[in-house]
Amino acid sequence: MSDTPLLIAGLGNPGAEHARDRHNAGFIVADALHDEYRFGPWRAKFEGLLAEGTIGGRRVYLLKPQTYMNLSGRSVGAAMRFYKLAHDAVVVIHDEIDLAAGKLKTKAGGGDAGNNGLRSITAAIGPDYRRVRIGVGKTGGKSGVVGHVLGSFSKSDAEWFGPMVEAIAAAAPMLAKDDDIAFLNKVQLKINPQPKKAKPEEKDED
């Protein structure tokens, strides 16, 4: 594990009216991490809300940009430069329409998959940061995308999203260890626990 602090940025839009939007999945996860690991209070910094704490023994800065999604790069870029972080010490948590609802993936680098928040961050710091991608699916083709991501999570979404947020929080120490594969594995085991194998019965000897 690196001794360098980790910046975890959850993306979303500010305001109570957006609190449960699919586009605010990153904010919701950031709040869960804040509560799970007892971070310090949120305070205004880098055109966002910043909280400091530790996860898995590593210093972590949690950031919720308040610039609205399309300008997220202003906030993430300012924090990255201030703390002099390399790209692999920046993790961005966001919704992704190109993943089916309930799917979770990670990657480092690559394109923005039509997410304007990622496009802004890439323009500000380059593409080589780490991403935690929460699938929210999409409906209605291109014309329906905006309404979908700015719509609230449905009751059926809650069946997978709530457990996923809890699992991401529980697995976050693996992110802090820069082990994204172990992180995904732990999330999946938390969501879909494997049944314990029954011990074979001992046969009585004659």
Active site residue 23: yes
Phi, psi of 77 (to 5 degrees): -65, -40
Residue 90, beta-bridge partner list:
7
118-135 burial, b at 16+ Cβ within 10 Å, e below that, comes to bbbbbebbebebbbbbbb
Q: d(Cα 134, Cα 175) in Å, to the nearest integer?
A: 15
Q: Which of 23, 87, 94, 148 is catalytic?
A: 23
Answer for the pair 10, 32: CB distance below 8 angstroms, yes or no: no
Catalytic residues: 23
